[in-house]
Structure 1
C-alpha cells in the first residue's frame, strides 16, 4: 500500500489550525487535501468553559455531529431568525451559510465536534473582526450609544476560542424543538443488520438540509460495505472508531487501497467505485458526509441483476455456465455479510 494515499489525510493527528488551553481546531480544506471538491471538514475541541466566538460562513452551509460533551449553539439567521439549543453526543446541528452562530461547552467534560462544510475552500467572518472594521462612531450610531462606549474594545485580531466568565447561561427556549437540531443518535436505524447499521441524516428525515447530508455508518467485524459508487455525490468520511480498509478505483485504472484509523478523513470523488471493510472484530464507525441532501448509490450487488446472464458472460469473457449464481437484488442492501476470510493486509 502507498505510504500516502491521495484519498486520505490525518484530521485529528495533524498540526492544528488553532490551539490553546481552551481547545483546538483541526481542518482539512483543499489546500491541505487537494482531492477535495465541494466539501471540507473540521474537528473542534472545546474544553469546559470554552466558547467558539460568534462567526459566520461566507460560502458554505455547515453540518456538524457532536462526538462527545454538551454544547450550546446560538444562532441568528436570515430575516431575524433567532435560535438557541443544546446539542449532546450523537446529535447534530445545521448552520446556514451567512447565519452568525457560536458554540459553547456547557458541560464538565471536553466537547468534540466534527463539522463538514459545503465548500472545499470555506471562508468566514468573526463577529469581533466585523465589529473592529467599523469606527466607534459608527458602532455608537448603530446601538444608539455614544462613541465612547466602544473605546474599551480591543482592535486586535480575533481569537477563535475564548473563555466564558462565570456559569453558562442557557436560554429558557433552548429545550424547545428546533429545525436546526437533529437527534441522529436517537434515530432507529433505517438500515440495520446483525453485521452493521446506518443512521441517516438526510433530507428525507431532516427537512433543513439543502445541499449536504451525513450517514453514521457502523460496520461490524462480520460485515462489509459492498463495492458501490455514488453517481452524483461525493463522499467525505471521518473515522470515529476502529481500524478499516478501503479500495478505490479511478477512471484512469489506478487502484488505491489504504487502511483507515481513528482521526483520519478520506474523500471519494463522484462516481468512483469503492468499498469499506473492518480489519478487526470490533468493527468500525464512520461519519460520512455527502455533497447532496439525499445521497444515492449504485451497488455491485444490484448491478448483477440489471443485465442478462448472456450480457454478463460476454462482458466478463467467460461461458455463461461459469458465471456465479448472482442473487436477484432489486434493492441494494448497503452492508453485506463477510462470508469469506479477509484479504491479507500488505
Structure 2
C-alpha cells in the first residue's frame, strides 16, 4: 500500500511542474495609462489603440505616470487684470493670505503674477522686468533720454528741430522709431556720407565708432521719440563721445592749427557739451554735402515699417537682421503682435539674450531657467524684459487689446556668427522627434503628437482667461 506521505510528495512535484511550464507575465506590458479628466483632475484608465483594434506603440513603453505624479491641469491664469481695483492680496485658491501691512496698489495691479504667482513657479529666478518709467531721466533743453542696462537700451525724445548732437560710440547703435520722424546723418571711415529721414516703425544702425547726428523734423508737432539699443550691456549713453565735449577740452591754439584757422574762429564754441539742444527744423529732403568719395554702400537706415508681417493664428511677426538690413551685423530683431488670449509660442533662442521692449498692450512671461527654476512676470507698454540665452519662455496676451512688442538680440559681431535671428520652437521640436521618444517622455497619444506643428506656430491663437480668487 502506498504511504500517505509518498502521495503528498507526488502532488507537490506535479504542482511545481505545472507552474514551471506556464509562461510568466511580461514586465514590458505596462499598466493602463492614466488620463486626467479636465473637469475633476482625477485619473481614469484608458488604452490607446488603432482603428483596426491593434495596440499602438504607446503601449510598448512605460508612461511617465507610472514613474511618479503627473502635472496638474488646474488653471494658473493671472488672478486679476488691469480693470480690477482691489483689494490686492497674495491669494491663489487655497494658498496664501491677505496683505494686512502696507501695499503699493499701483505696483500690485500691474503685477498679479508676482503677488499671487502660478503654482508652476518654483525656485529662484532673478528679476527680468524693468519699467522704463523707473529709469533716471536726463533732461535737456531739446528733449530727454532715459536708459536701461541689460543689453543697453535708451528711450529718447527730441522736440521738433532738436538735435542729439554729433557723436559716436564704442559700440554699435540700433534704433526703432516710436513716433514722429528723425533726420539722421553720418560719415564713415572712408569719407562716404549718408543722410536719411526715418519714420515710425523704421530703423537706423550705425557701426561702432561711426559718427552721426539725430534731429527731429517738423513732420510731427511733438517731434520724435525712439528706442536706441546697444549690443554691449555695459554701455551707458552718458559715455558717448560728443563733438562739443571734445572740442571744449582741446587748447584753442591746437584747434587753430588743426583746421588752419585763427583761434578766433572758435570763439562761440560751447564750454560744455550740448547733448540734446534746440535748433531750427531741418528742411524737407535736405541733401548731404557732396563727398568726393560718394555715399555709404550699405544704407544706415531701413524702412522696417514697409516690411509685410507674416500672419499666424494668434497674431503677426516680422523679422529684420543682416539678411535684409545688411549693415546691421550685431543686432537682429522681430516685431510681434499677439491678439487677446493668444500667445507667442513656447520657444527659446539658442545663443542670444533677448531684450524685449513692450510697445502696447499687456502680457506675461514665464521664464524657465533649468533645474526646476521658473518665474512669471507681467508687462505693460513701456516695460523692458530680459530673457537670457536658451531660457525657455512664452509671451501671452493677458489684456483686451493687441499686444505688440520687439524681440531684440545681440546677434554677434562682424567677425563672429550667427548674425541672424534664431529661435527654437517647442512644438516643432516635438513634431520632428521620433514619436516613440516623445511618448516615452510625455505619455501622449498619437493624435496629440499629430497635432504638434512641423512648422513654427510662432503666434498661437487662444482665448483670454483670468483666474478669479
TM-score, length of structure 1 as denominator length: 0.88
Runs of 4+ in 1 over 6 A off after TM superposition: none
Identify if the C-alpha distance between structure 1 residues 300 and 264 changes in structure 2 by more than 3 Å, giving closer, same or farther: same
Q: Match for 1:301 among 427, 430, 437?
A: 427
Shift of 1:248: 0.6
Counterpart for residue 233 of structure 1 = 352
* 1:329 aligns to 2:453 (yes or no): yes
Identify if the C-alpha distance between structure 1 residues 21 and 194 changes in structure 2 by more than 3 Å, giving closer, same or farther: farther
* 1:83 aligns to 2:157 (yes or no): no
* 1:344 aligns to 2:467 (yes or no): yes
- Superposed CA deviations along residues 187-246 of structure 1, whole A, max 9, x for unmatched, are 112x21353111222122111121111211111115311100011121101111101111
Shift of 1:102: 1.0
Identify if the C-alpha distance between structure 1 residues 330 and 124 changes in structure 2 by more than 3 Å, giving closer, same or farther: same
Q: Which runs of 5+ in 1 are unaligned?
A: 30-35
Shift of 1:251: 2.5
* Greater helix content: 2
Q: Match for 1:153 among 265, 269, 290?
A: 269
Whole-angstrom distance in 1 between the partners of 2:159 and 2:184: 15
Whole-angstrom distance in 2 between the partners of 1:77 and 1:261: 38
> Do the aligned residues in 2 keep the contact of 1:16 with 1:24 (CA within 8 Å)?
no
Whole-angstrom distance in 1 between the partners of 2:323 and 2:360: 27
> Do the aligned residues in 2 keep the contact of 1:85 with 1:181 (CA within 8 Å)?
yes
Q: Match for 1:2 among 114, 119, 141?
A: 114
TM-score, length of structure 2 as denominator length: 0.66
**Is the partner of 1:115 in helix, strand or coil?**
strand
Q: Which runs of 5+ in 2 are unaligned?
A: 1-112, 116-124, 290-294, 412-418
Whole-angstrom distance in 2 between the partners of 1:252 and 1:218: 31
- Superposed CA deviations along residues 232-290 of structure 1, whole A, max 9, x for unmatched, are 12110111110111111112322111111011000101100000011123220102211
> Do the aligned residues in 2 keep the contact of 1:25 with 1:43 (CA within 8 Å)?
yes
* 1:101 aligns to 2:212 (yes or no): yes
> Do the aligned residues in 1 keep the contact of 2:341 with 2:396 (CA within 8 Å)?
no
Shift of 1:97: 0.9
**Is the partner of 1:217 in helix, strand or coil?**
strand
> Do the aligned residues in 1 keep the contact of 2:217 with 2:224 (CA within 8 Å)?
no
Q: Match for 1:46 among 158, 172, 179?
A: 158
* 1:209 aligns to 2:333 (yes or no): no
Please, what is the CA RMSD of the aligned residues?
2.4
Shift of 1:341: 5.0
> Do the aligned residues in 1 keep the contact of 2:163 with 2:216 (CA within 8 Å)?
yes
Whole-angstrom distance in 1 between the partners of 2:275 and 2:193: 22
> Do the aligned residues in 1 keep the contact of 2:348 with 2:392 (CA within 8 Å)?
yes
Whole-angstrom distance in 1 between the partners of 2:377 and 2:158: 31
> Do the aligned residues in 2 keep the contact of 1:299 with 1:332 (CA within 8 Å)?
yes
**Is the partner of 2:431 in helix, strand or coil?**
coil
> Do the aligned residues in 2 keep the contact of 1:18 with 1:160 (CA within 8 Å)?
no
The size of the alignment, in residue pairs, is 329
> Do the aligned residues in 2 keep the contact of 1:242 with 1:284 (CA within 8 Å)?
yes
> Do the aligned residues in 2 keep the contact of 1:63 with 1:213 (CA within 8 Å)?
no
Counterpart for residue 27 of structure 1 = 147
**Is the partner of 1:311 in helix, strand or coil?**
helix
Pairs within 5 Å for 1:1-346: 1-2=113-114, 6-11=127-132, 13-29=133-149, 36=150, 39-58=151-170, 60-107=171-218, 108-122=221-235, 123-156=239-272, 158-164=273-279, 166-169=280-283, 171-173=286-288, 179-189=299-309, 191-292=310-411, 293-316=419-442, 318=443, 321=445, 324-338=448-462, 341-342=464-465, 344=467
- Superposed CA deviations along residues 9-43 of structure 1, whole A, max 9, x for unmatched, are 011x12434113522101011xxxxxx3xx21110
**Is the partner of 1:304 in helix, strand or coil?**
helix
Shift of 1:66: 0.7
Whole-angstrom distance in 1 between the partners of 2:301 and 2:270: 34
